[in-house]
Structures are given as C-alpha cells and as structure tokens.
C-alpha cells in the first residue's frame, strides 16, 4: 500500500475515534440529566441546609436522608433559621445550587423565587391549614366576636408578602397597614356586626411569624368593633388547654391536620372548630427555581 493511502487511513481512523469520543461525552436525555444532577449534588457537597437542632422539620429531614436512595450519604447542616436564610440569599445572589428546609407560610417564598421539591415518599406530609378554634359558649357570650372569628380568612400569598414587611417593621404596624389597605375584606368580615363597648376578649397565639401576624390583624379588626383585645403568646399545649377550659376565648394558630393533631384530639370535645383561616400550608425541601430539578428523587447519592 502506498504511503498516501496509509495517511488517508490514519486520518479516517483519527476522525472516527474523535467522533466516538465526542459521542461518549453526550448521552440520551436521561443520562445527560443524571450527569447534570451528579454535578449539582457534588457542588452542594451532598448537604441540606437546615435549621435548628431538635426542630420537627429537622427530624423529618433526617428521615428523608435515611429513606430516599437519592439522599444516601447526604448530611444536614444545622444552625438556625436565620443562618439558613442567609445562606439561601447568598446562594441565589450567586446563582448557586442549594437545598434548604422550607415551610409555608413564610416570607422566603415572597422574598425569593424558590420552589418545593416533590416528595414521592410523602415524608413531609400533606398540606395543612391554620384553623380557628374558640371556647364553648363563645357564640352565646360574644356573638359579634364569634361571627368575626368565623369569617377570618387569608390567602397564603398575601400572608407571605406581608411577612416580608415584618422583617423591616414591627408586626403590629404591618397588621394595621394591612387592615388599612384591605378595607373591602374587613368590611366583609364585619358586615352586619354591631359594635360593642369594651367587651374583653383574649386571643392565644403560637408565637411564630405567620401566626402572630394574622392574630395581630384579628386584634386590630376586633378593636375597631369595640372589643378590648388581649393577645397572649403560649406554646401549643397551653393554647389548647386554655381554649378548652375557657381561660382564653379563641385562637387562629392551630396547624391541622398534622402538626397539632394530637392536641386537637385530646381536647376536641371541649372547643368549637370554626374551620380554616389560611390554607396551603406545608413543609418540605426547597431549591431556587433556576435549578433544573423538581423532585427529591432528582438528586444523586454520594458515592
């Protein structure tokens, strides 16, 4: 064979090998996505950015790490809610990947463009709601307050947007501004209700941001109707006991049907449930919306 033909064969072979090598760098849509996910998981150092040790969601995150094949070898970084939010903000500013503990309602969903990851195993539970409960005989003793409490209802997005403002202002100021800006809604709540003259009413609240905010709105509206309103922050067990025994009149804080179900069941014969006041509440793992993953199962285990 001539030297010219050998050169042609060599060039052809090199081109063929180059094409094969290039083909190895590509893949079907499924495997290309897998490679991308592996890089993202590695970039996050197989870490969930969590909140406080001992929090209920912290324990659920650990259960997810033990349950999901995609989270095998992962760990959870624990510190505080504030620290988690700082890391989320920094990651988004730099358009970096991050997985965080998340819950609704919370201002994080109004402040940043983030999304929950789907939870095929259902470990984080179903959607919840804030439920209004009142003491027995409230309807007879304070029919005006009873009717207003029964009518209270907020959209989840509205609550989260208002919670952004509470990071810069006192929650009572934000609540007063919300009432001023939503007079049509307030008018629906108070339509046909006679004013009272200083009737005392006590609301008990679990002192978390969203629960405190909606309770402050209730306080403003009831005060405008002439009630002398006291708001008392308590832990969940004390809240249910206070309503059941009549030591307090009403609460907008209980999370149902999961978080406070055991306390609800313990006292349910001794209070009245007026239904949901905020719906769509949930907990889970969330990521910035620019991340091209939609489910916990899209992550990859540590090798």
pLDDT tens figures, 239-274: 999 999 999 999 999 999 988 999 999 999 999 999
Q: Is residue 14 part of a domain?
A: no
Q: What SS3 class is residue 26? A: coil
Tokens for 136, please give them: 């027995």
Is-cis flag, bond preceding 105, omega within 30? yes
Q: What is the CA radius of gyration of the chain?
A: 27
Q: Is 23 domain-assigned? A: no
107 lies in the same domain as 132: no
- Asked if residues 221 and 106 have their Cβ atoms less than 8 Å apart, the reply is no
Q: Please check whether residues 238 and 168 belong to one and the same domain.
A: yes
Residue range 26-82, pLDDT digits in tens: 433 343 444 444 579 999 999 999 999 988 899 999 999 999 999 999 999 999 999
What is the model's pLDDT at position 54? 85
In-domain check, residue 24: no
CATH number for 213: 3.10.105.10
Are 91 and 174 found together in one domain? no
pLDDT surpassing 70 at residue 176: yes
Q: Which pair of structure tokens corresponds to residue 274?
A: 């007026």
Within this chain, do residues 261 and 154 fall inside the same structural domain, yes or no?
A: yes
Residues 136 and 268 in one domain: yes
**Per the domain annotation, does 165 fall within a domain?**
yes
Assigned domain for 275 exists: yes
Query: Distance (Å, rounded) from C-alpha 154 to C-alpha 38?
Result: 41
Question: Coil, strand, or helix at residue 244?
Answer: helix
Whether residue 169 sits in one domain with residue 235: yes
Backbone angles phi, psi at 226, to 5 degrees: 100, 5
Q: Which domain holds residue 247?
A: 128-281
- The more confidently predicted of residues 85 and 303 is 85
Residues 6+ apart with CB under 8 A from 124: 60, 64, 282, 283, 284, 285
**DSSP three-state, residue 129:** strand
pLDDT of residue 23: 37
Share of the chain above pLDDT 90, in %: 85
Whole-number pLDDT of residue 258: 86
Inform me whether the pLDDT recorded for 301 exceeds 70.
yes
CA distance 300 to 35: 9
Q: Identify the sign of the CA torsion 207, 208, 214, 217.
A: positive
| 221/217 Cα distance (integer angstroms) | 6
Q: What is the pLDDT of residue 303?
A: 83
Cβ–Cβ < 8 Å for 216, 175: yes
Together in a domain, 152 and 251: yes
Note the pLDDT of residue 38.
52
Does 257 fall in a domain? yes
197-245: pLDDT as tens digits: 999 999 999 999 999 999 999 999 999 999 999 999 999 999 999 999 9
246 close to 136: Cβ distance less than 8 angstroms: yes
In a domain, 11, yes or no: no
Range 70-97 average pLDDT? 97
Do residue 37 and residue 132 come from a single domain?
Answer: no
Say which DSSP state 195 is in.
P
CB 248 within 8 A of CB 89: no
* Tens of pLDDT, residues 1-25: 444 443 343 434 433 433 333 333 3
Measured CA to CA, the distance from residue 38 to residue 27 in angstroms comes to 14
Which pair of tokens denotes residue 263?
Answer: 């306390």
Mean per-residue pLDDT over the chain, rounded:
89
Q: What pLDDT is stored for residue 93 in this prediction?
A: 98
Q: For the beta carbon of residue 36, count every other beta carbon within 10 angstroms.
A: 14
d(CA 85, CA 133): 32
Residue 10 lies in a domain: no
Which pLDDT score is estimated for 56? 84
Residues 137 and 212 in one domain: yes
Instruction: Tell me: do 121 and 132 sit in the same domain.
Output: no
Q: Which tokens hold the place of 159?
A: 């609550």
What is the torsional sign of CA 232, 235, 236, 237? Answer: negative
Same-domain status, 248 and 265 = yes
Report the CATH number that the domain containing residue 44 is assigned in CATH.
3.40.190.100
The verdict on 84 and 109 lying in the same domain is yes
Please give the tally of structural domains in the chain. 2
């Amino acid at each position: 064979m001539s030297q010219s033909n050998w050169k042609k064969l060599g060039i052809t072979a090199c081109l063929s090998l180059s094409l094969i090598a290039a083909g190895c760098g590509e893949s079907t849509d499924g495997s290309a996505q897998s490679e991308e996910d592996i890089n993202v998981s590695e970039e996050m150092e197989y870490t969930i950015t969590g909140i406080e040790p001992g929090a209920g969601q912290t324990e659920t995150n650990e259960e997810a790490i033990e349950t999901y094949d995609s989270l095998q070898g992962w760990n959870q970084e624990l510190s505080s809610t504030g620290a988690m939010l700082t890391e989320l903000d920094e990651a988004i500013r730099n358009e970096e990947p991050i997985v965080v503990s998340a819950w609704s309602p919370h201002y994080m969903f109004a402040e940043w463009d983030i999304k929950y990851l789907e939870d095929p195993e259902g470990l984080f539970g179903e959607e919840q709601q804030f439920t209004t409960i009142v003491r027995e005989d409230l309807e007879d003793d304070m029919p005006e307050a009873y009717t207003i409490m029964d009518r209270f209802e907020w959209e989840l997005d509205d609550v989260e947007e208002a919670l952004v403002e509470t990071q810069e202002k006192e929650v009572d100021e934000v609540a007063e501004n919300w009432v001023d800006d939503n007079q049509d809604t307030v008018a629906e709540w108070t339509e046909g209700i006679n004013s009272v003259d200083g009737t005392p009413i006590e609301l008990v609240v679990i002192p978390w941001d969203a629960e405190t905010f909606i309770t402050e709105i209730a306080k403003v509206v009831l005060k405008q109707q002439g009630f002398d309103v006291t708001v008392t922050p308590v832990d969940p067990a004390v809240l249910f006991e206070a309503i059941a025994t009549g030591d307090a009149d009403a609460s907008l804080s209980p999370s149902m049907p999961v978080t406070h179900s055991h306390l609800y069941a313990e006292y349910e014969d001794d209070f009245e449930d007026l239904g949901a006041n905020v719906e769509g509440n949930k907990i889970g793992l969330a990521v910035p919306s620019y991340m091209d993953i939609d489910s916990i199962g899209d992550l990859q285990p540590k090798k």
